[in-house]
């Protein structure tokens, strides 16, 4: 806040501002104007559906209470899945869900979650909660079928065996044999289609404390016996690096290479070196800009991992998946610290939209991202409490940005005020972030985020051709700290946006502070 007030005062006085922000250099006085020049003729890469992927772990109420309440629950449900959540996930057109973890995946034994007699276990990473295994393979894969999305199964490498994971693949996808017979006995004759198979999770940490060299050897063994059956074709994903661990990617690319179809990276917009991650709803402007800088800091991280992949795989056969990302705040007061239940404000929405603006640029290599997590955990789409459910500001970003799915990414030059300089792991923050994409029918979709906390910005988009007409919607709220609570579930949401003009090849509008607008060509 301080630095923006100084910048505004300097602008009024016509002075050049010398700010002590970032590396100590000058931040020019704000103009509160921006130009976006788009190049539809240069559109090549398609934005895959899976870029908008989700992650649902057995953690807190991410599954139990959040998705699954069981058939006998008083909460309205369809075969045990809560109706309100199903409807909201359908509204989002969820393309893929990663399950059952996370850390949980590496101590999950899938045979405990099938059939009539399901043993309980202790969820040792996440609050010591007793897991009753009532949500298992059938419940997850049936959910994916109901939503029309791809399953991404995360296999147990840390405490499991090659045989156990190979059997799981047989159980889910084989046409015949003892595992298919057991599946049929448990109510499912037809094999499911399972596309994405993760071989472990965070194998450098909660997934087994392995060195990259050791993991590469393990990966090869696991991947060899996880085979394709019938018409199913597995896309095998190696457990990837934690953000800045480029050596992990280097060793996997040299030691596994094209025996993997993809490799992950996990990146959270938080500071794990501090005991507190900060409140989800009570933060000052400095922490807001820190958060945006940290979340935008994913771009150089992506670039460095891609540069290593390019070295070993210049043709881009092996894909990069950001299979965990998002904000991580302190849990809400009175909730189990191990359950990672956090609120979600317009700040989280801005992290989501600006992250997508980065992911979209790299779809030549990135084919999936999975925000952590879908319901009730970390930066969730949906929060539930008993029979109540709210859609978070992040939900609305996903919904608005769906227009870009399967479109081609349109390169653009975006010029706007510098708000914060690069500083170590914090990226440079500019006032305006955006994505433009174009459909097969030649229709544009343009999303624009104004990161400024206090200043509206006059934006001109140079469209390059005349005669375009748009509909638009805006996501914003009076205060960046606003959120949807169970008592006030509709405080933050989208609305039609009509304050724009198209004159010849120029689209112009004023975008309010801390808001997100998406235009869709008619
Ligand atoms: O998303 C929460 C946890 O964060 C996941 O279980 C783990 O993979 C990561 O460390």
Interval 193-245: pLDDT, tens: 999 999 999 999 999 999 999 999 999 999 999 999 999 999 999 999 999 99
Q: Report angle CA 436, 442, 445 to the nearest 5 degrees.
A: 25
Q: Does the structure show a pLDDT above 70 at 322?
A: yes
pLDDT, one tens digit per residue, over 446-456 is: 999 999 999 99
Asked whether 158 lines ligand 1 (CB < 6 A), one says no
> Counting beta carbons within 10 angstroms of the beta carbon of residue 12, is it exposed (0 to 12), middle (13 to 18) or buried (19 or more)?
exposed
The per-residue pLDDT for 22 is 41
Predicted local distance difference test score (pLDDT) of residue 86: 98
Contact 102 CB / ligand 1 (< 6 Å): yes
Distance 102 CA to ligand 1 centre (A): 5
**Does the C-beta of 202 come closer than 6 Å to ligand 1?**
yes
pLDDT over 80 at 3, yes or no: no
Ligand 1, atom nearest to 268 Cα: 4
201 lines ligand 1 (CB under 6 A): yes
The pLDDT of residue 26 is 87
Give the three-class secondary structure for 401: helix
Task: Give whole-number Cα distances, 229 to 59, 168, 225, in Å.
Answer: 31, 12, 12
CA distances from 97 to 61, 149, 476 (A): 16, 7, 28
**Angstrom distance (rounded) from CA 57 to CA 323:** 12
57 part of the active site = no
Concatenated DSSP letters of 255-315: HTGGGSSEEEEEEEES-TTSS----SS---HHHHHHHHHHHHTHHHHHHHHHHHHHHH-TT
Q: Using one digit for the tens of pLDDT, what is the confidence trace for 123-158? A: 999 999 999 999 999 999 999 999 999 999 999 999
Beta carbons within 8 Å of 494's beta carbon, 6+ residues apart: 396, 399, 400, 473, 474, 475
The H helix count followed by the E strand count for the chain is 11, 27
Q: And the tokens for 479?
A: 């205060």
The pLDDT assigned to 24 comes to 55
Q: Which one of 131, 202, 322 would you pick to mutate in the ligand 1 pocket, going by the greatest count of ligand atoms within 8 A of its CB?
A: 202
Residue with the smallest CA separation from ligand 1 atom 7 is 102
Q: Whose CA is nearest to atom 5 of ligand 1?
A: 102
Ligand 1 near 376 CB (within 6 A):
no
CA 168 to centroid of ligand 1, rounded, Å? 22
| Ligand 1 atom 6, closest CA | 102
Q: What is the mean pLDDT of the segment spanning 320-332?
A: 98
**DSSP alpha helices (H): ranges in 157-245?**
162-173, 178-185, 212-225
Active-site annotation holder among 139, 324, 473, 521: 324
Reported as a single tens digit per residue, the pLDDT across 4-60 is 333 333 333 333 333 334 445 789 999 999 999 999 999 999 999 999 999 999 999
Phi-psi region of 127 (alpha: psi -120 to 50; beta: other; left: phi over 0): left
Give the tens place of pLDDT for each residue, 425-477: 999 999 999 999 999 999 999 999 999 999 999 999 999 999 999 999 999 99
Over pLDDT 90: what percentage of the chain? 94
Q: Which residues, other chains included, contact 248 with Cβ-Cβ below 8 Å and sequence gap of 6+?
A: 204, 212, 240, 241, 242
Ligand 1, atom 8, lies closest to the CA of 102
Backbone φ, ψ for residue 445 (5° rounding): -125, 130
Answer whether residue 161 shows pLDDT above 90.
Answer: yes
The answer to whether residue 326 scores a pLDDT higher than 60 is yes
User: Is 103 close to ligand 1, i.e. is its CB under 6 Å away?
Assistant: yes
How confident is the model at residue 4, as a pLDDT?
35
- Find the Cα–Cα–Cα–Cα dihedral 193, 195, 196, 197, rounded to 10°: 60
The mean predicted confidence, pLDDT, of the chain is 95
Angle between helices 137-147 and 162-173 (to 10 degrees): 50
Please measure the distance between the N-terminal and C-terminal CA atoms of the chain and give it in whole angstroms: 38
Query: What's the predicted TM-score (pTM) here?
Result: 0.94
Reply yes or no on whether 202 is catalytic. Answer: yes
Ligand 1 centre distance from Cα of residue 55 (Å): 10
Residue 103, token pair as written in the block:
């850390």
202, 218, 299, 521: the active-site residue: 202
């Amino acid at each position: 806040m301080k630095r923006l007030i100084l910048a505004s005062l300097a602008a009024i006085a016509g002075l050049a501002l010398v700010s002590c922000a970032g590396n100590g250099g000058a931040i020019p006085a704000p103009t509160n104007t921006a130009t976006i020049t788009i190049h539809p003729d240069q559109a090549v890469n398609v934005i895959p559906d899976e870029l908008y992927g989700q992650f649902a772990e057995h953690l807190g109420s991410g599954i139990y209470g959040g998705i699954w309440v069981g058939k006998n629950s008083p909460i309205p449900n369809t075969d045990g899945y809560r109706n309100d959540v199903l409807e909201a996930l359908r509204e989002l057109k969820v393309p893929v869900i990663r399950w059952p973890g996370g850390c949980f995946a590496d101590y999950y034994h899938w045979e405990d979650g099938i059939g009539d007699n399901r043993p309980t276990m202790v969820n040792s990473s996440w609050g010591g909660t007793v897991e009753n295994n009532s949500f298992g393979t059938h419940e997850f894969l049936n959910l994916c079928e109901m939503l029309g999305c791809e399953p991404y199964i995360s296999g147990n490498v840390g405490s499991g065996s090659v045989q156990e994971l190979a059997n799981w693949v047989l159980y889910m996808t084989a046409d015949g044999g003892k595992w298919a017979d057991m599946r049929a006995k448990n109510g499912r004759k037809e094999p499911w289609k399972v596309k994405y198979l993760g071989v472990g999770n965070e194998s450098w940490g909660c997934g087994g404390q392995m060195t990259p060299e050791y993991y590469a050897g393990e990966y090869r063994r696991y991947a060899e016996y996880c085979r394709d059956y019938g018409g199913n074709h597995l896309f095998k994903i190696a457990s990837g690096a934690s953000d800045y661990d480029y050596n992990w990617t280097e060793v996997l690319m040299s030691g596994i290479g094209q025996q993997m179809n993809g490799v992950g990276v996990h990146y959270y917009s938080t500071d794990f070196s501090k005991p507190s991650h900060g409140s989800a709803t009570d933060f000052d402007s400095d922490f807001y800009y820190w958060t945006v800088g940290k979340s935008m800091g994913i771009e150089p991280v992506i670039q460095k991992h891609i540069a290593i992949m390019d070295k070993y795989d210049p043709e881009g056969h092996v894909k990069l998946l950001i299979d965990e990302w998002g904000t991580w705040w302190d849990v809400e007061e009175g909730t189990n610290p191990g359950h990672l239940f956090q609120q979600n404000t317009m700040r989280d929405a801005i992290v989501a939209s600006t992250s997508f603006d980065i992911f979209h640029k790299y779809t030549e290599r990135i084919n999936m991202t999975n925000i952590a997590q879908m319901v009730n955990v970390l930066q969730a789409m949906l929060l539930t409490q008993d029979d109540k459910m709210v859609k978070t500001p992040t939900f609305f970003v996903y919904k608005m940005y769906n227009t870009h799915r399967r479109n081609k990414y349109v390169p653009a030059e975006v010029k706007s005020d510098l708000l914060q300089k690069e500083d170590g792991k914090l990226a440079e923050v500019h006032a305006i972030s955006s994505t433009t994409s174009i459909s097969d029918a030649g229709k544009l979709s343009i999303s624009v985020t104004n990161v400024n906390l206090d200043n509206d910005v006059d934006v001109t988009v140079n469209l390059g051709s005349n005669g375009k007409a748009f509909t638009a919607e805006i996501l914003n709220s009076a205060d960046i700290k606003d959120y949807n609570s169970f008592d006030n579930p509709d405080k933050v949401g989208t609305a039609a946006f009509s304050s724009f003009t198209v004159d010849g090849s120029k689209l112009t509008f004023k975008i309010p502070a801390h808001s997100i607008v998406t235009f869709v060509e008619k």
